[in-house]
């Protein structure tokens, strides 16, 4: 039986009549966005109103006669992935999860359940969205109604969707699938797993602009319904996204490549704005990747791309990110495929010869970006190369020099004129 407000419970104790109780609850759930530097988000809002409708007994009997269960067999391998949200559900919620997948695959946008709790419905629904970024047309906010009679209850849930028209949904889906198929084909042609991930990372950044306009709507609480920028459709088709769009796209494509990839939420250490990024499994080790933060927004809107957050470990992540602990997350100890380690740009200690060797690899590039084990070693490098101007002893450096330090404090990037 659905748990009604206390006042409703007291009312039922004093009446001898049969009723159908209809509870309309409009629930708006947080949609993960990113601040200009990476994320802000709207506050949770919850409204509930109760309407009691007098009904004839035979109508209640008709409701109780519908109290049957069906087993829904679906082709869904989420449970085979160790950190799937499906694996966090209890038996009842898993049954709801399977039913939702069955209905969504049939392009339904309204769902009816019997004798389940609204909390179980929400847990299962959000788990489906977390595991299946390909269901991009389904919004996180939804309304639902609950009808009860004696020991029977029925819930009808109506999520906010891009469209309720199956043909329109199929057209949107086709637009995304065509792009994903091409990305997967190009990435699959690369033999090295690192190169596959690098290709996907770079493709998303090169073809996506951070959607500052959507950020403004979120901050002003002016957004209505499902935000395209929070989905793979916004990222791949409209080429505009916030962090949830970046991370959903990365998850979808990597899963298609046979790489277990998930989304995780949290905040940045310096601020409390919510944020979303990914963790993934590669060669039996786990890594984090934050594609959004590798696509920073510059004041002049100049395109940029970094690799500071590409395949990083816990040690690197926790310098700038904080997990929200709402889902199980493995220890991410992988370092082999970290961008700087893999490309020989990581150093335990500073040595001028390392910088000189890197400059000689691509002398016309005009950029040297290296990562050190500690901030102290980075400071030693800055003092030697910039303060003491030893950077100019490299033959290729003939003009002005500028340098930046990463948010983590370990990466030093020097740009120079050749």
Question: Is pLDDT at 114 greater than 80 in this prediction?
Answer: yes
> Which has the higher per-residue pLDDT, 142 or 6?
142
**What domain range includes position 29?**
6-161
Choosing from 137, 161, 185, the residue where a domain stops is 161
Q: How does the average pLDDT of the chain come out, rounded?
A: 82
pLDDT computed for residue 341 by the predictor: 97
Is the C-alpha dihedral spanning 32, 34, 39, 45 positive or negative?
Answer: negative
Stretch 125-131: mean pLDDT, rounded?
Answer: 96
Structure-block tokens of residue 256: 């298609």
Tens-digit pLDDT profile for residues 194-228: 999 999 999 999 999 998 887 777 766 666 556 89
Report DSSP state, residue 5: -
Strands 411-416 and 367-372: antiparallel
Look at residue 362 and tell me if it is in a domain.
Answer: yes
Q: Kindly tell me if the per-residue pLDDT of 343 is higher than 80.
A: yes
Per-residue pLDDT for 400 more than 90?
no
**pTM for the structure as a whole:** 0.82
- Position 403 scores a pLDDT of 93
146-150, 159-163, 176-180, range with greatest mean pLDDT:
176-180
Instruction: Give the confidence band of 269 by pLDDT, cuts at 50, 70, 90.
Output: confident
pLDDT of 2 higher than 90: no
For 191, residues 6+ apart whose C-beta sits below 8 A from its C-beta are: none
Q: How confident is the model at residue 363 (pLDDT cuts 50, 70, 90)?
A: confident
Asked if the structure places residue 399 within a domain, the reply is yes
The CATH number for 363's domain is 3.30.110
Q: Dihedral of CA 90/96/98/101: which sign? A: negative
Number of domains in the chain: 2
178 lies in some domain: no
3-state secondary structure of 193: helix
Within a domain: 281: no
Per the domain annotation, does 393 fall within a domain? yes
Cα-based angle 43, 214, 159 (whole degrees, multiple of 5): 60
Quick one: CA torsion of 20, 126, 109, 79, rounded to 10 degrees?
A: -110
Residue 196 belongs to some domain of the structure:
no
> Has residue 169 been placed in a domain?
no
Q: Say how far apart CA 255 and CA 76 lie, in whole Å.
A: 13
What single-letter DSSP state applies at residue 311?
S
Higher pLDDT, 292 or 224: 292
> For position 47, what pLDDT does the model report?
31
Among residues 161, 187, 217, which one ends one of the domains? 161
Please say if the pLDDT value at position 16 is more than 50: no
């Amino acid at each position: 039986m659905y748990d009604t407000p206390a006042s409703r419970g007291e009312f039922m104790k004093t009446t001898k009549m049969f009723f159908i109780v209809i509870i309309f609850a409009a629930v708006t759930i947080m949609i993960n966005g990113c601040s200009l530097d990476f994320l802000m988000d709207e506050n949770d809002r919850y409204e509930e109103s109760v309407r009691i409708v007098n009904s004839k007994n035979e109508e209640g009997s008709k409701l109780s006669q519908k109290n049957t269960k069906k087993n829904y067999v679906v082709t869904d391998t989420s449970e085979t992935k160790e950190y799937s949200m499906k694996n966090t559900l209890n038996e009842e919620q898993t049954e709801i999860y399977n039913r939702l997948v069955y209905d969504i695959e049939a392009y339904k946008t309204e769902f009816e359940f019997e004798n389940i709790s609204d909390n179980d419905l929400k847990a299962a629904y959000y788990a489906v969205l977390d595991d299946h970024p390909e269901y991009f047309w389904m919004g996180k906010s939804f309304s639902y109604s609950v009808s009860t009679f004696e020991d029977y209850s029925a819930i009808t849930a109506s999520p906010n969707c891009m469209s309720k028209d199956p043909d329109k949904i199929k057209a949107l889906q086709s637009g995304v699938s065509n792009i994903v198929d091409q990305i997967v084909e190009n990435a699959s042609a690369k033999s090295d797993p690192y190169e596959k991930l690098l290709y996907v990372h770079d493709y998303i950044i090169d073809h996506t602009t951070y959607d500052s306009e959507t950020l403004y709507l979120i901050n002003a609480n002016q957004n209505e319904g499902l935000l395209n920028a929070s989905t793979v459709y916004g990222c791949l088709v409209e080429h505009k996204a916030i962090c949830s769009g970046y991370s959903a796209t990365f998850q979808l494509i990597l899963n298609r490549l046979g790489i277990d990839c998930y989304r995780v939420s949290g905040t940045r250490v310096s601020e409390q704005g919510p944020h979303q990024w990914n963790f993934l499994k590669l060669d039996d080790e786990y890594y984090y990747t934050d594609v959004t933060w590798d696509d920073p927004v510059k004041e002049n809107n100049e395109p940029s791309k970094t690799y500071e957050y590409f395949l990083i470990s816990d040690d690197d992540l926790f310098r700038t990110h904080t997990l929200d602990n709402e889902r199980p997350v493995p220890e991410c100890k992988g370092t082999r495929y970290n961008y700087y380690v893999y490309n020989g740009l990581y150093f335990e200690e500073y040595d001028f010869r390392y910088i000189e060797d890197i400059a000689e690899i691509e002398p016309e590039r005009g950029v040297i970006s290296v990562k050190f084990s500690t901030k102290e070693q980075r400071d030693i490098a800055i003092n030697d190369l910039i303060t003491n101007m030893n950077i100019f002893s490299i033959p290729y450096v003939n003009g002005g020099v500028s340098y930046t330090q990463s948010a983590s404090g370990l990466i030093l990037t020097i740009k120079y004129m050749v």
